[in-house]
Chains A and B, each alone.
Chain A
Amino acid sequence: MSSDIPPQRPSPAPDGVSLPYWLAARDRVLVVQVCASCGACQYPPDLACHHCASADLHYEEDEGAGVVYSYAIYTRTFDAAFPAPYVLAFVELSHHPGVRIMANVVEVDASAVEVGMDVEVIFEPRGEWLVPQFRPVGVAAS
């Protein structure tokens, strides 16, 4: 049913708002959009602050530490570019509380993932970009 070459995973098409986010990711830095007026942070990035409507937004570096807020395990393949099993998660950033990023939890058996698990950002090549992903803390040492 499938050819020998698996279809490519999609890569992001940055726009005026998201370009700094993806450029930072390409430098292996996770950034979060923060409002200069009220200090609120938000994800995904947007044209204006979701709390005070200010358009004075900037990006600040995040240390890349997070906690699994929720996760789902794909046990069957819906899309040949994403063969099962894989884990789709919301990761809440430890240094930007309330900011939940969608990502895959990688470098771990799906059955070992838990809500509340400490994870850290890594970057996965995707076309000409790098996509933030998360792995359990401590994997790097093994």
Chain B
Amino acid sequence: MNSASVAVVGVGYSALSRGDRPDPRALTLEACHAALSDAGLSPDNIEGITQYTHTSSSTEAPITAEVQRALGIPNLSFFADISQTGPSGLGPVMTAAMAVASGVCDTVLAYRTLPQFEGTTGHLGSSDGTVAGASQYTAVYGHSPGILANYALKKRRRMHEFGTSADEYGIVAINARRWAAHNPRALLRDPLTMDDYRGARTIIDPLVLFDCDYPVNASCALILASAERAHDLRHRPVFVDALAWGSGAGADFVFSDDLLYGGSIAASQRLWQKSRFTPQDINLLGLYDGFTHLPISWIEALGFCGFGEFHDWVDGGRRIGPGGELPLNTSGGMLAEGRIQGIGLAAEAVLQLRGDCGVRQIDAPRVAVVAGGGSNDSGVMSLFTE
């Protein structure tokens, strides 16, 4: 992808909510129609659809065929339902970019739909009987809910390895709220202080409540198109600069060789090899923040500071906050806007690069880096405007 051949041309969100149970299909169509409207395209302009989901249940997120039918698209030339591995909601966006760059199709609708009750909540129950497969090495030890234990283990190891305190995690949590205060769509807009963070309820020690993202009912959709097509559409095109995935060695969500960084270092190195930009050119970061550990590990993996140096680099949060030189997750991210899982960070980057972010708009950004996952499921992309 040496010349910019792909652009993001439309962004759409569903309403974000907590506590109710909206139909995930309706959320998805709301986001898709919003993205089409934003791009100035109609459904019959869409040639491909991609999506990411954790589950195989279409009651939690509709598959691409359901969306195709409900949009009245008679025939697709590309479709991919991505599950289990991949950089979460960024996966369908990155895959869509490849589909357009390859010439398989000229336009792709990429979405991620995630109900509040999907995921670790509500899956706790008692386990009995036997456990097979990968679980025979984890479930026998009470590794449940596994993802929370994983991030508790990473946090403890990081603090030991670098001699850092939990406060750097608090800086990430506080940053999310500072930005969310300026985002009408965000659901957690109240400020958070370091005292609040230090006093937060323990989930699995040392993981605390404010280290975890905020589950919501949400869908978000992006439309990608060839650069040629993009120039004829409504908005200033936001071009895809480079894409990179990274699994890391011993790839596994629990036992990966690199507990702290997973595949994020390999992905970051590949990104800079392919990119026309360097870290010094980046104006905006959208880094996966399902847990506070992840933006920290991504910032270090991407080389914005050395390993273990985030706390000194971030300057008490000033560097990444409103008015800072490298704004991070200006929507409030998954920690505060709500758990839209990666694709929301890409949508926010597009809106910032277009200059469409209202009161939280940063000053004329040109280049953004967006990352998804951060374990063995790492993916990162760079976006720019001309």
Q: Contact residues of A with B, CB < 8 Å?
A: 7-15, 18, 42-44, 50, 69-76, 78-82, 86, 88-90, 98, 100-104, 115-116, 126-127, 131
Contacts and interface: CB of A to CB of B under 8 A. Distances in A.
A72 B142 contact: no
Interface in B2-61: none
- Best-buried of A13, A74, A90, A103 by chain B (most CB within 10 Å): A74
Interface residues of B, number: 40
A38 to B, nearest CB: 14
B142 A11 contact: no
Interface string B105-138: 0000000000000000000111111111111111
B141 A13 contact: no
B328 to A, nearest CB: 26
Interface stretch (B92-100, B199-207, B368-376): B199-207
B136 A14 contact: yes
A72 B130 contact: no
Nearest to A45: B137
Interface stretch (B154-162, B179-187, B278-286, B355-363): B154-162
B156 A75 contact: no
A14 B254 CA distance: 19
Contacts of A7: 126-128
B303 interface: no
Nearest to A42: B250
A57 to B, nearest CB: 15
Contacts of A12: 130-132, 136, 140
B259 A90 contact: yes
30 contacts: A7-B127, A9-B140, A10-B128, A10-B130, A11-B130, A11-B131, A12-B140, A13-B131, A15-B133, A42-B250, A44-B136, A69-B259, A70-B154, A70-B156, A70-B160, A72-B149, A72-B152, A73-B206, A74-B142, A74-B204, A78-B144, A81-B128, A82-B142, A88-B141, A88-B149, A98-B257, A100-B255, A102-B143, A103-B141, A115-B156
Contacts of B153: 70-72, 88-90
A142 to B, nearest CB: 24
B141 A73 contact: no
Nearest to A116: B160
B131 A86 contact: no
B136 A13 contact: yes
B139 interface: yes
In this complex, the member of B128, B134, B135, B140 whose beta carbon has the largest number of chain A beta carbons within 10 angstroms is B140
Nearest to A15: B132
Given A86-B142, A116-B160, A131-B140, A102 B207 contact: no
Contacts of A10: 127-131, 135, 139-140
Interface in B228-272: 249-250, 254-255, 257, 259
Contact of B137 (A76, A78, A102): A102
Contact of B124 (A44, A75, A79, A100): A79
A79 B126 CA distance: 5
A69 B257 CA distance: 12
Given A70-B153, A115-B156, A88 B143 contact: yes
A70 B157 contact: yes
Contact of A44 (B125, B132, B134): B134
B151 to A, nearest CB: 9
A24 B200 CA distance: 43
Nearest to A111: B205
Given A69-B157, A73-B206, 13 more contacts: A10-B140, A11-B140, A13-B130, A70-B153, A72-B153, A79-B124, A79-B125, A82-B144, A90-B157, A101-B137, A102-B141, A115-B160, A131-B141
Contacts of B160: 70, 115-116
For the complex of A and B, 8 pairs with smallest distance between CB atoms:
A82-B142, A72-B152, A70-B157, A13-B132, A13-B130, A73-B205, A7-B126, A115-B160
